[in-house]
Amino acid sequence: MKIAILSRNASLYSTRRLVEAARKRGHHAEIIDHLKCDLIAEQKNPTIYYRGRYLNDFDAVIPRIGASVTFYGSAVVRQFEMMKVFTAVESQALIRSRDKLRSLQILSRAGLGLPKTVFTNYSKDVDHIIEQVGGAPLIIKLLEGTQGLGVVLADNQKAAKSVIEAFNGLKARIIVQEFIKEAKGADIRAFVVDGEVVGAMKRQAKEGEFRSNLHRGGSAEVIKLSRAEKSAAIKAASAMGLGVAGVDMLQSARGPLILEVNSSPGLEGIEKATGVDVAGKIVEYLERNRAKHKKKSQKDKVNA
């Protein structure tokens, strides 16, 4: 099987591990910089031109698309889909996952537990917003933030009001979310591949910090999920339409609460914390589904 790994940086841990895992299983893996791809639209003949050649001989794609290039990255994934190439993460699911508000609406509709969240169109009734999430302390997040950037903990009513009004004044889109005290600065990252949790870790924020992201100095350790937590992770990935997902959740008095579903989750933290070959699990997912996808594509071509 010939696998395209869409990544802008060949030295990244996740990219290197996916290449290693693919080659270990006898596949040919090539790193493709999606921002260097030219997309050619032609009647019944969509193609991709990349560094002097057409990418028309790949069997599967693993997208590793950064949040800042979601628009073009998802277009490249979509082009591969039009070329009948199986992708580990579908273009629509990728776009859906990058829209924080839309993601929360989808997860809410699916009946999953969430921290109470408010989004408004720069409402001037800030006191009411704060009241809706149970008062301070509370969390304020930029809709475009990643890896803990653009996330603020407001300890009291006055601070919460000041921050919300400041963001509103800048016309910055935010969500206001209840603070889950019993989580004690920790969250869970469950890694889901093809409808199965293949690994899970508990991330703990460093002292004096409320964000547990490993990029911000948090620590990670392996954790055995409860039945409810495992079910919530699988259901969240399914609701978002993601074959590969990092599901972030909080442990609360009312059960697991989903924070976010990541469509390009990093492999370094989860592999080092759990010892699981997650990259290998992703390649196995391609192996299982590529044949089914090819058969379906041929059937669709016959019926066209």
Instruction: Please tell me which residue, 225 or 148, carries the higher pLDDT value.
Output: 225
Q: Which pLDDT score is estimated for 302?
A: 45
Q: In this predicted structure, which of 64-78, 106-120, 147-161, 290-304 has the lowest mean pLDDT?
A: 290-304
Domains of the chain with CATH codes: 2-89 (3.40.50.20), 117-179 (3.30.1490.20), 182-263 (3.30.470.20)
Contacts 24+ apart (CB under 8 A), 17-23: 17/267, 17/268, 17/271, 17/278, 17/279, 18/62, 18/64, 18/267, 18/279, 18/282, 18/283, 20/279, 21/277, 21/279, 21/280, 21/282, 21/283, 22/283
As a whole number, the mean pLDDT across the chain is: 92
Instruction: Please tell me which residue, 169 or 302, carries the higher pLDDT value.
Output: 169
CA-CA distance, 93 to 178, in Å (whole number)? 26
pLDDT tens digit string along 9-26?
Answer: 999 999 999 999 999 999
CA-CA distance, 34 to 50, in Å (whole number)? 9
pLDDT tens digit string along 91-130?
Answer: 999 999 999 999 999 999 999 999 999 998 899 999 999 9
Beta strands in 33-132 (DSSP E): 37-40, 47-50, 53-54, 60-63, 86-87, 117-118
Where b means 16+ CB within 10 Å and e means fewer, 193-231 reads bbeebbbbbbbbbeeeebbbbbebebebeebebeeebbe
The torsion region of residue 150 among left (phi > 0), alpha (psi -120 to 50) and beta comes to left
Q: In this predicted structure, which of 186-190, 216-220, 223-227, 244-248 has the lowest mean pLDDT?
A: 216-220
Q: Which pLDDT score is estimated for 85?
A: 96
Q: Which pLDDT score is estimated for 287?
A: 96
Average pLDDT over residues 149-161: 91
